Amino acid sequence: MSNTLKVLFISGSLRKNSYNTAALRAAKEDAPNDMQIEFADLSGIPLYDQDQRDEKVPAAVSKLVEQVRAADALLFATPEYNYSMSGVLKNAIDWVSREQPQPFAGKPAAIMSASMSLLGGVRAQYDLRRAMVFLDMHCINKPEVMISTAHERFDAEGRLTDDTTREFIGKLVSALGDWTRRLQAGGQQ
């Protein structure tokens, strides 16, 4: 077994200046040296359509499926839209979950969210966690990272400027690494 963990970062936002994508970039900056980080690109994934899937799985979906399969762990960053995760993220999850064997099953995962609201995306995380339970992902429980008033924590170039937020993100990425290694070794939470 390699000492390097392959971690796939998945942002639920397509927005160029997304705070969630910026939070993932900050997580990459502070990730342990034993992590190999890759970013998923959800921008080319069409709306889920079983007829289209039956005909031919789109290339963007196939790429994401392979990224999920190759990853040792997943880190999601989701915005909150109308009290839930983004449609973009839910759509990507729906596409990937239809593959057999189901690529999310057994994957260690973590969630963070960034929002301009005071709650920091807590409701989106709740819905994403419910989907993870059904998909048999093993999401860490703590630390929880909900970046509230995100517009005050990142600069105009999308760099994280808040040290406390950076510390929480660093703890989350470290915990994901520890959790992944524990699961790989056959341990329990």
pLDDT tens profile 168-186? 999 999 999 999 999 999 8
> Which alpha helices (DSSP H) does the chain contain, by range?
19-29, 50-55, 59-70, 87-97, 122-134, 163-184
Give the structural domain span for 9: 5-184
Asked if residue 115 belongs to a domain, the reply is yes
> CA 99, 35, 137, 143 torsion: positive or negative?
negative
Confidence of residue 187 (pLDDT cuts 50, 70, 90): low
Q: How many domains does the chain have?
A: 1
Exposed (0-12), middle (13-18) or buried (19+): which is 57, by Cβ within 10 Å?
middle
Asked if residue 189 belongs to a domain, the reply is no
Q: Using the predicted structure, report yes or no on whether residue 188 has a pLDDT greater than 80.
A: no
Asked if residue 126 belongs to a domain, the reply is yes
Q: Residue 78: its pLDDT value, please?
A: 96
In one letter, which amino acid is 63? K
Asked if residue 15 belongs to a domain, the reply is yes
Asked if residue 178 belongs to a domain, the reply is yes
Average pLDDT over the chain, rounded to an integer? 95
Higher pLDDT, 88 or 119: 88
pTM comes to 0.95
**Do 78 and 21 meet the contact criterion of CB atoms below 8 Å apart?**
no
Which DSSP helix (H) or strand (E) runs through 73? strand 73-77
pLDDT single digits (tens) 102-157: 999 999 999 999 999 888 889 999 999 999 999 999 999 999 999 999 999 999 99
Here the CATH number for the domain that contains residue 24 is 3.40.50.360
pLDDT single digits (tens) 61-71: 999 999 999 99
